[in-house]
Structures are given as C-alpha cells and as structure tokens.
Amino acid sequence: MPIHPDSYEPYDGPRGTERPWWTVARQTLGSMLSWTRTKLTLLAVWVFPALALIGVIVEYSLRSSGTELPVPEGQFVGAFATYQAYAVALVYLASGCGIVSHDIRYRTLPFVLSKPITRWDYLGGKLLGLSLLGALTAVVPTLLVGALRLGMLASIDLAGPIVGATLAALGVAIAAVVVTAALVGAISSLSGRTGLVVLGVIGAFVAPWILSSILQLATEAKAAGNLVSLHGAFSLVIDQWIYGDASGVPAWSPFVALGVLCGGSIAVMHWRLKQAGDIH
C-alpha cells in the first residue's frame, strides 16, 4: 500500500480581517440590486418620497413668502412613516423572498457552509443584506425628507413641533426594515420554491391583517386587534410615537409583538440552517 509523505504546508499568506457575515451581506445586496425588478420596484417606491421632497420645498417657499399655513404637526410624518412600512414590504416581496430560498433552490448552501463561517454568520449576513436594501427603500428617504424639512422649518423657527415626530419616523423605518427582513428571511428559509415563499410572505402580511379586522369588528377592540398584524403593530407604534396617542393598549405591547415576531423569525431561520445538509 503506498504511503504518501505529508508535505502539506498550510497557507500562510496574508488574510484580511473582513468578517464573513459582511461578505455574505454584500453579495446578497449586490445580487438583489443587479435584478431589473429590484431597480424598478425601488424607483416606484421612491416616487412618493420624491414628491414629498418637492412638497417640502413648496411648503418652505410658501411659508417664507408669508403665506398663512397651519403650524406643522405630525400628520405628514405619520403618513410618511406608514407609507415607508408598506414600501419596505413591497420591495422585500419583489426581491427579498429568494435570500435563502435561492441558495436552497440552486443548491449553493453547501459551498457557503463548507467555509469557515458559522450559521449565525450566514444568517446575519443574509438579514443584513436584505436590511440594507430595506434601508435604501425607507431609511434613506426618511432621512432625506426629514432632514430637509427640519432644516427648512428650522430656518423659519417652526421645526420645534416636529423634531420628535421626525426622529420617531426614522425609528419606525428602521424597525420596519429589520422586523420585516427577519420575517421574510424566515419564510425564505422554509422552501427552495421561491414562488411558494412569495405566497407565504403575502400570507404572512395579509392573513393577520384579515384576522385583525375580524377581531376589531367582533370585539370593537381596535387597538388590541392591531397587535396581531405586522402593519397593525407598526400603526400602534406610529400612533404612540408620532401622534402621541395611547391607542388603548399598554405602551409596551406593540414593541413586544414586534420583538417576538423578529426573534421568532430569526429562531426559525437558525433552526432551518442547522439542518442545512438535509435541506433540498
């Protein structure tokens, strides 16, 4: 029997300090941004923020020229934050459903998981990549519109009433980006058939919404009914943070609902990745 010499010399060349989750995140984002449907969806959802930017400039011009307008309150910011939560859902639906599902479908998961990375690196990278797309959808426009509006209103001493609301809108946008990414990531990890994942994500958005409507009709507990749906929970947060409305439920309840949804989704994703060699 031939005996081979162990002449192996380990690679001792330069190694970067780049974290694998960051590599996965960049690849995930780059891949999504290369798709035409992502570009088109992003353009579509940016139409409203673009109009809002124009509206802010018009508002500033009118106020500067002495036109009598009501003192700014949170309505505009509240409507903007609500829109952003839906925009994130739409962009994720169009482009995010394949983040793990494509790796299952195209059987590329074993390549990644045979590298020196943990399941958490992969999971974190995928969610970060999707969240960066969500940030382009919601956080960046919120920052742009909010900063421009605050800056212009501050120059005519009217920023005071809406500083808190604008920061709250930013918080809502970030929460929508992260929680919705976790939900979409979890559903994406359940199947290699991306069409099924899209249906699953639509179901996860719509079914609780219907349930929430039934609960509201049956019990007249409008706020409590909102707690069972993702966008209902966001509307409760917007009510509290932007409109200062107590909503009739404990202040912590929408945050707990969103936290449980986010944590549960990440747990599902990790559980699926632990079975990676079994996933087909």
- Report in angstroms how near the CB of residue 275 gets to another protein at its nearest: 9
Closest to another protein by CB, 142 vs 191, is 191
Q: Number of C-alpha atoms within 13 angstroms, CB side, residue 72?
A: 25
CB–CB of 187/97 below 8 Å? yes
Q: Is 31 in the site for another protein (CB under 8 A)?
A: yes
Question: Tokens at residue 4, please?
Answer: 């081979």
Q: Is 67 in the site for another protein (CB under 8 A)?
A: no
Contacting range for another protein; rule: CB under 8 A; set: 23-31, 43-51, 131-139, 250-258: 23-31
Q: Is 271 in the site for another protein (CB under 8 A)?
A: no
Rounded distance between C-alpha atoms, residue 279 and residue 28, angstroms:
20
Q: Is 33 in the site for another protein (CB under 8 A)?
A: no
What's the chain's Rg over C-alpha atoms?
A: 23
Contacting range for another protein; rule: CB under 8 A; set: 7-15, 57-65, 86-94, 238-246: 7-15
- Report in angstroms how near the CB of residue 188 gets to another protein at its nearest: 15
Among 66, 70, 116, 220, binds another protein (CB under 8 A): 116
Among 15, 66, 68, 71, binds another protein (CB under 8 A): 15
Question: Tokens at residue 148, please?
Answer: 């421009």
Q: Is 10 in the site for another protein (CB under 8 A)?
A: yes
Rounded distance between C-alpha atoms, residue 212 and residue 4, angstroms:
69
Which residue type does 84 have? Q
Residue list 81-110, contact with another protein (CB under 8 A): 102, 106-108, 110
Q: Is 3 in the site for another protein (CB under 8 A)?
A: yes
Contact residues for 143 (Cβ-Cβ < 8 A; gap 6+) = 170
Q: Please name which of 84, 57, 244 lies closest in space to residue 180, comparing C-alpha atoms.
A: 84
Q: Is 16 in the site for another protein (CB under 8 A)?
A: yes
Rounded distance between C-alpha atoms, residue 129 and residue 251, angstroms:
31
Closest to another protein by CB, 30 vs 203, is 30
Q: Given phi > 0 = left and psi -120 to 50 = alpha, else beta, which region is 107?
A: left
- Report in angstroms how near the CB of residue 31 gets to another protein at its nearest: 7
Q: Is 47 in the site for another protein (CB under 8 A)?
A: no
> How many other CB atoms are found less than 10 A from the CB of residue 193?
13
Q: Is 20 in the site for another protein (CB under 8 A)?
A: yes
Q: Please name which of 249, 88, 63 lies closest in space to residue 149, comparing C-alpha atoms.
A: 63
Q: Is 114 in the site for another protein (CB under 8 A)?
A: yes
Closest to another protein by CB, 115 vs 244, is 115
Contact residues for 166 (Cβ-Cβ < 8 A; gap 6+) = 77, 146, 149, 150
- Report in angstroms how near the CB of residue 85 gets to another protein at its nearest: 30
Closest to another protein by CB, 39 vs 107, is 107
Among 64, 75, 118, 155, binds another protein (CB under 8 A): 118
Classify burial at 205, counting beta carbons within 10 Å of its beta carbon; exposed 0-12, middle 13-18, buried 19 or more: buried
Could you list the residues that contact another protein (CB under 8 A)? 1-8, 10-11, 13-20, 23-24, 27, 31, 34, 102, 106-108, 110-118, 121, 274, 276-278
